[in-house]
Amino acid sequence: MKNLILGIDVGGSGIKAAKVNIKTGKLVSDRFRLPTPEKAKPEDVADTILEILKHFKWQSSVGCGFPAAINQGTALTAANIHKSWIGLNLEKYFHKKTGCKFRIINDADAAGLAEIKFGAGKKKCGTVLMLTVGTGVGSALFSGGVLFPNTELGHIELFGREAESNVSDAVRKKKELSFKKWAERFDAYLIKMNSLLYPDLIILGGGVVKKKEKFFDYLSLKSKIVPASLGNDAGIIGAAIFANN
């Protein structure tokens, strides 16, 4: 089918995929999810992706969002995955393993692309910051609709530590923080982002946004913040869009 690309979103806990109509931004299949292998080493993740391709009987182009800074298909960092990914060209590696043509993009950048084209950031001018809050904290920065890739703003310093080690949803769960207590931390992070970038709009995505009613009222930048509108599909849709670029 024309305009159809398989989008894959590699996360810290799960690898999700679906067929995407890149002209409409709609999924044209059910989402299929497999657990991310323990330690998330290249060989194990590649085997899992191969299972996903077999599930969809897919032999064409694939877009893949991946939790790392990506430069021309090569991983420069390894957040919440095995360090052996660093320096590996993922596009060539996955092509060799599967026979399919792959385009790789940072996972938060993928989610941001989807929200800018089809979601909460559609037709928004100026500077837009997308933050994905889940196992870690991902970021995607846009100016006039153009992506500035690999910002990785979840790794800036906050309270003397890496920000995502204080404000991710995984930390909230692990430390059994109330939403009010967690929101105090996250608000400090948002204030810092605002003072660095002065965005016109901040889009919040990731699993924690499903429970936005439990913490939005504790955030002080309410006028600038909107929830992502594509939910858990954003990373899949954005990866597919990128594969068509």
Q: How is residue 13 annotated by DSSP? A: S
Residue 232 zone, left/alpha/beta (φ > 0; ψ -120 to 50; rest): alpha
State the CATH class of domain 4-109+233-243: alpha beta
79 pLDDT band, cuts 50/70/90, is confident
Q: Which pLDDT tens digit goes with each residue over 8-34?
A: 999 888 999 999 999 999 999 999 999
Using CA of residue 197, residue 134, residue 185, residue 227, what is the dihedral sign?
positive
Q: Which pLDDT tens digit goes with each residue over 194-236?
A: 999 999 999 999 888 989 999 999 999 888 999 999 988 999 9
Alpha helices in 69-163 (DSSP H): 90-98, 107-118
From-to residues of CATH 3.30.420.40 in the chain: 4-109+233-243, 123-228
Q: How distant is the alpha carbon of residue 176 from its chain centre?
A: 24
Q: Which pLDDT tens digit goes with each residue over 170-202?
A: 999 999 999 999 999 999 999 999 999 999 999
Q: Tell me the CATH number of domain 123-228, given options 3.40.630.10, 3.30.420.40, 3.60.20.10, 3.40.190.10.
A: 3.30.420.40
Contact 129, 90 (CB under 8 A): no
Q: Which pLDDT tens digit goes with each residue over 135-158?
A: 889 999 999 999 999 999 999 999
